[in-house]
Structure 1
């Protein structure tokens, strides 16, 4: 029997010294000499520390935990590729990724990235392969010159190579998000997953598929015996922290001035912006619209990172962590007919898959009435007036929203636009000046929703 500890999408855990310390402490308490510690991508970024100049923020955690193996997530490519290469070379774990290509060769080969590796646990030889999302070069601009192939054929080749080497067990690490195709194509007991932030424990064609969610709140403990896998979950909040890790990250936050209080809340603010209108989505959209001097604000909720609710004293780090990416706020000139189509895409109906029952669009100085059953934008208003398809509106948005056309399909970089400021200065200034709302105000109304929405 082998034992695995699995985390993924811990992303900004380093911005919360206590949580980072508890995750490190939990791994240390559960680990023994026959346990493999595995990451499934997005374990270095995004976060406030990495964004504000500490590109190697993950290294103290990695050195404390000493993981055995990890794979590449799309957010590993939030930094310059040269910086990522340095981080890969410095970190203690083996990085496995079978579907990342750099020209005619494997990405990261010189830094030690391999398609698969063989480790030992409890006297058994364990083959571990990794795959990244095939969309990484599309959703991560720094990865645009790389190629990420279909993970299924790449994983199939890796499993065959490991079987040829006579391993006792094969374990998959996947940051592909949708792991069902891997489970159906491969005869492996478990795939330790990430990328999609919903927690998952499910068997598909006999393969156990796991995802811990984001932010380092859960750790899975997996046992594999006779090629059958089972798992239990551990809550990081219940663990004793590693004091050295806590102190390290507190010092790093203070050194960058990220612990300054900029707002005080009289109630909690949930950090979820993909289930309909949200107070945090309104805050971000309002901040960008006002900074841009625009008539409308438009924000994509998936860029607002889910985490513990904001409470009490809100720091610079808390505000920056809402959108922990190096984005600019823009003022964009959008014809009314294209703005209406963009508001229709706020529903995410066009993205399919797990996106279909979400709602990503967050707006400012606009009102939306959406019929879920009819997949219809019933009404759209700007201020107190119906949206005029023949008028051109100045819309405040992030450069990422404009650049990545699949989010709002009617928007593209050819629209006239100008830079306003970096998004973090915009958000921090707005929090200082106007505070952060704790309740939504009804600017988005959705009707005929399913009962579980």
Structure 2
């Protein structure tokens, strides 16, 4: 039997040095001669420490937990391909990617050590790992726009054939495909698909193949048994595979990692207090994807004020989950909300285009995340949405019906100009200016009292 200790999307775990230390300590506690520690992407970014360290804090973490292999998530390119190559070159573990291509169409990072697959041994058995990245990464991450990502299923079939030819005991996909894991499990002969990208916890079987996800920000990881005899194991006469979700919060402290992350955060120099908040602003999946929230209103208000715009618009996925904003709120807290070196832009949309953009906020229209997620936080506007039919009933700007022929100024994240997946109506051709880096815009608004914000009925969902 081989055990796999699977983590993914740990993103801003590094910003809480103590919690990261316990996460690492619990992984080390469960590690052993029969275990292999692996990641499935978004392990370098985003976050406050990540932004200060250009993602290199993953090297501290991987050394602490004994990572064997990891693959690329979309955020692992947040600081550009050259930074990612540098991280790969300095990693003691192996980066695997079967479908990432560089600026010339060649295998990404080959010179620095990226391989399509690798083999690791535990308890006398050989496990083959291959990596896959969401092929939309060059669209959803502007910093990765010069790269390309081939069909993941064709790449997987080739990697699996190679690994089976090597005579390994097990073949495991390290996947950052999100919702594409189900198709991968159906199309390719693997023993398990360890996944990421979608921020929900999962231990499910698809056509007899175990598919896992660990959630986000290191609140849990997953332990997988290959060839075990657990009652929950699925088997079709071949390998028995089972999984359990592990809570790392009570793990022993990994002091050296905790100290390293504290030093990196201190080096960021982001301790300025920008505001004091009495009523906490929550930052959870519910507040970012559940409709109107105080944190969403704050961000959208900040954009609209900075851009002197008619409307502020923030995509839900851009707001990062984390501890509530309460008490003394620092510049580091503002970075943690939107940890991207990306400007707020002003776009000019006709009323017809604005209505189309608002209609694209429903999660059922997107190819990532959960179908019931809501993806728009707005300022200066109000929407009524028919949940039963999945359509916009009414939309207003400054309490007036939107005029399809009028021109509206909308302040939003530059990311939306590049993405074909969120609010695709908004494109580069609509750009009319930019007003500053996102977290700086938030800090300015917070200094001006912007954190004193309520839920006001900007979004109404009718059954």
TM-score range, shorter chain: over 0.9
Alignment partner of 1:299: what SS? Answer: strand
Q: CA deviation at 1:405?
A: 4.4
2:428 is aligned, of 399, 413, 419, to 413
Question: In 1, are the aligned partners of 2:296 and 2:377 still within 8 Å (CA)?
Answer: yes
Q: CA deviation at 1:376?
A: 2.4
1:416-427 equivalences in 2 (<5 Å) = 416-427=431-442
CA–CA distance in structure 2, aligned partners of residues 40 and 54 of structure 1: 19
Structure 1 117/211 Cα, relative in aligned 2: closer, same or farther at 3 Å?
Answer: same
CA deviation map 1:389-420 (0-9, x unaligned) = 22212211121123324422322211251111
CA deviation map 1:406-451 (0-9, x unaligned) = 4223222112511111111101111222142574221100111xxx
Aligned to 1:399: 414
Aligned to 1:4: 4
Aligned to 1:145: 146
Question: In 1, are the aligned partners of 2:313 and 2:376 still within 8 Å (CA)?
Answer: yes
Q: CA deviation at 1:251?
A: 1.7
What RMSD in Å do the two structures reach over aligned CA positions?
Answer: 1.8
Question: In 1, are the aligned partners of 2:12 and 2:46 still within 8 Å (CA)?
Answer: yes
Q: CA deviation at 1:267?
A: 3.0
Structure 1 104/342 Cα, relative in aligned 2: closer, same or farther at 3 Å?
Answer: closer
Does residue 361 (structure 1) correspond to residue 376 (structure 2)? The answer is yes
Aligned to 1:263: 275
Aligned to 2:392: 377
CA deviation map 1:100-120 (0-9, x unaligned) = 123353111111111111111
Q: CA deviation at 1:316?
A: 1.8
Q: CA deviation at 1:81?
A: 1.0
Bigger shift: residues 157-166 or 435-444: 435-444
Aligned to 1:154: 155
Question: In 2, are the aligned partners of 1:101 and 1:147 still within 8 Å (CA)?
Answer: yes
CA deviation map 1:264-285 (0-9, x unaligned) = 3323322131221111111100
What is the number of residues matched between the two proteins? Answer: 448
2:202 is aligned, of 170, 195, 200, to 200
Alignment partner of 2:217: what SS? Answer: coil
1:233-252 equivalences in 2 (<5 Å) = 233-252=245-264
Q: CA deviation at 1:141?
A: 2.2
Structure 1: stretches of 5+ with no match in the other structure: 449-453
- Taking structure 1 as the reference length, the TM-score comes to 0.94
Structure 2: stretches of 5+ with no match in the other structure: 228-237
Aligned to 1:305: 320
1:41-52 equivalences in 2 (<5 Å) = 41-52=41-52
Q: CA deviation at 1:353?
A: 6.3
Bigger shift: residues 195-204 or 11-20: 11-20
CA–CA distance in structure 1, aligned partners of residues 239 and 453 of structure 2: 49
Bigger shift: residues 206-215 or 303-312: 303-312
1:129-144 equivalences in 2 (<5 Å) = 129-144=130-145
Does residue 59 (structure 1) correspond to residue 48 (structure 2)? The answer is no
CA–CA distance in structure 2, aligned partners of residues 70 and 100 of structure 1: 13
1:36-115 equivalences in 2 (<5 Å) = 36-52=36-52, 54-102=54-102, 103-115=104-116
CA deviation map 1:137-181 (0-9, x unaligned) = 221223222221121121111111111111111111111112011
